[in-house]
Amino acid sequence: MEWETVIGLEIHAQLRTKSKIFSGAATEYGAEPNTQACAVDLAFPGVLPVLNEEVVRMAIKFGLGVSAEISPKSVFARKNYFYPDLPKGYQISQFELPIVGKGHIEVQLEDGTFKRINITRAHLEEDAGKSLHEDFHGLSGIDLNRAGTPLLEIVSEPDMRSAKEAVAYLKAIHSLVRYLEICDGNMQEGSFRCDANVSVRRKSDSKLGTRCELKNINSFRYVERAINYEVERQISVIEAGGTISQETRLYDPDKNETRTMRSKEEANDYRYFPDPDLLPLVVTNSMILAVQDDMPELPGQKRERFMTQYALTAYDADLLVTSRALAMYFETVVKESKAQPKLTANWIMGDLSGALNKANLDITESPVATTQLAKLLQRIEDNTISGKIAKTVFEAMWNNEGDVDEIIDKQGLKQVTDSGAIESLVAKIIADNPEQVADYRSGKDKLFGFFVGQAMKASGGKLNPQQLNQLLKEKLAG
């Protein structure tokens, strides 16, 4: 039996504002519990919400980033339910009229092809607080620091057909919100999280299967694993003659399984209605135009430009545009060094990225500044050092041992380009190794590498490789 998987994602991106969506309290992560909750967040009697205008600009930015319609009028509604970490007894969200309407994003799949994923809507809402069930001796602790933090909920169409596609989409949105600087994308801290709606159907079916909503998947890896587990589960239920019932399921990363959280029958009736404390949100054309002026180049556009402007391969361009900071680092180095873009890309994606990963650092935290890397590339291109020696220099730069030229000088790494000096070294090596010379001359071409190695060893790797090759060939030819 051929099965098809159908997936839609609901992504919650926490907007990077200084203060909350409806109050002046700070949103910073990691503060002492309940120190960042004011009277409004605590829902004291008489308080009223006032919309933070920054969140509106951020939502518009996202809307423009996915070519979506921005609603001229959207409405905040109350989603009513009781929970201790929801102080008002309702969450202010948008229901019937969201600020961002239909849009789409191009997502690159593993085989390099692109697929368009449609976005149904994106709406603004406030986050709830946190309930802490451990360390309270059977009781629960409530931390309301997060209550009222602005969220943008991004809802996709059920356009994805595999867990890998879902991850690719999630990554594309993740990269976009960071490019737009509206969300820090930190999944561990929960500022970027997603729920997945998963169903399966026989390939011949035109109707969608019954879906289950998976909650609590807070990393790219877990998204893939949770969906794959759920797909397997649903198929085996149906193949065993059972039916899938619509429900919300929780993903347990430790056991790598999903389990029932609540069934459809247990689902809350949220009794949505327009929040009478907030007027309809009106977005004017001039607001949209102002945001448009402020829009950065998006990952897709940047990728295209990198390929044409710098003659990079699609592979290199893709890697470089994963984050705005990385792309900016690349462009700055190219500009400062006037080195070949390909060489620059290789260094950034190779040695620099490797070192950063090992040290668990972000490009913005790189100990090697763009000016330093640019200088290093200049020294390669002007033949002061060879590419191989450059790795030694880079290591010293990474360890903060000083300026590129200083390191080259101090460690005596300057490449030998004086042909007289190279000639005498070559002559010495030929004189010292008569057997090998004889073998070479009798046809053992492979021994050429031996002579190169000897020369480099004797010089500490500082000989200009092209010059050495040429001279060696001449002298060995006799």
Partner 1 sequence: MVYKTIAELSQDLANKKISSVELTQQFLDRIERFDKSLNSFITVTADQALAEAKNADAQRAKGEAGPLTGIPFAQKDIFCTQGVKTSCGSKMLDNYISPYDATVVKQFKKAGTVLLGKTNMDEFAMGSSNETSYYGPVKNPWNLETVAGGSSGGSAAAVAAYLTPAATGTDTGGSIRQPASLCGISGLKPTYGRVSRYGMIAYASSLDQGGPMARTAEDIALLMNTMAGFDTNDSTSIDYPVPDYTSTLNDSMKGLRIGLPKEFFGAGLEKGVEEAIQAAIKEYEKLGATIHEISLPHSALSIPAYYVIAPAECSSNLARYDGVRFGHRCKEPKDLEDLYKRSRSEGFGPEVTRRIMIGTYALSAGYYDAYYLKAQKIRGLIREDFSNAFDNVDVIMGPTSPTPAFKIGAKTDDPISMYLSDIYTIAVNLAGLPGMSIPAGFVSDLPVGLQLIGDIFQEPRLLNIAHSYQKVTDWHTRIPKGF
Nearer to partner 1, 30 or 45 (CB): 45
3-state SS, 5-25, equals EEEEEEEEEECCCCECCCCCC
Does 49 help bind partner 1 (rule: CB under 8 A)? yes
Does 139 help bind partner 1 (rule: CB under 8 A)? no
Nearer to partner 1, 270 or 398 (CB): 270
- Distant-in-sequence, close-in-space partners of 84: CB < 8 Å, separation ≥ 6: 131, 140, 142
Q: Output the DSSP codes for 350-362.
A: IIIHHHHHHHT--
Question: Contacting partner 1 (CB under 8 A), which of 10, 26, 29, 47?
Answer: 47
Does 132 help bind partner 1 (rule: CB under 8 A)? no
x/- mask, partner 1, residues 221-250, rule CB under 8 A, reads ------------------------------
Question: Contacting partner 1 (CB under 8 A), which of 30, 82, 188, 308?
Answer: 82
Residue 298: CB minimum distance to partner 1, A: 33
Element (H, E) at 305: helix 299-309
- The percent of the chain in helix, strand and coil, each rounded to the nearest 5, is 40, 20, 40
> Which range binds partner 1 by CB under 8 A, 77-85, 108-116, 248-256, 442-450?
77-85
Does 282 help bind partner 1 (rule: CB under 8 A)? no
CB 173 within 8 A of CB 154: yes
Name the token pair of 151: 């969220």
Question: Contacting partner 1 (CB under 8 A), which of 107, 142, 413, 437?
Answer: 142
x/- mask, partner 1, residues 101-120, rule CB under 8 A, reads --------------------
Ordered strands of the 3-14 beta sheet: 103-108, 114-126, 150-156, 3-14, 192-202, 212-217, 247-252, 257-263
Does 48 help bind partner 1 (rule: CB under 8 A)? yes
Does 261 help bind partner 1 (rule: CB under 8 A)? no
Q: Output the DSSP codes for 63-107.
A: HHHTTPPBPSEE-EEEEE---TT-TTSEEEEE-SS-SB-SEEEEE
Does 398 help bind partner 1 (rule: CB under 8 A)? no
> Which range binds partner 1 by CB under 8 A, 4-12, 46-54, 230-238, 327-335?
46-54
Does 280 help bind partner 1 (rule: CB under 8 A)? no
Does 129 help bind partner 1 (rule: CB under 8 A)? no
Question: Contacting partner 1 (CB under 8 A), which of 155, 261, 278, 349?
Answer: 278
Q: How many residues bind partner 1 (CB under 8 A)?
A: 28
| Cα gap 320→296, rounded to integer Å | 16
Nearer to partner 1, 144 or 363 (CB): 144
Q: At CB < 8 A and 24+ separation, what contacts does 332-336 make? A: 332/370, 332/374, 333/370, 333/373, 333/374, 333/377, 334/310, 336/370, 336/371, 336/374
Name the site residues for partner 1 (rule: CB under 8 A): 39, 42-51, 78, 80, 82, 84, 87-90, 142, 269, 271-273, 276-279
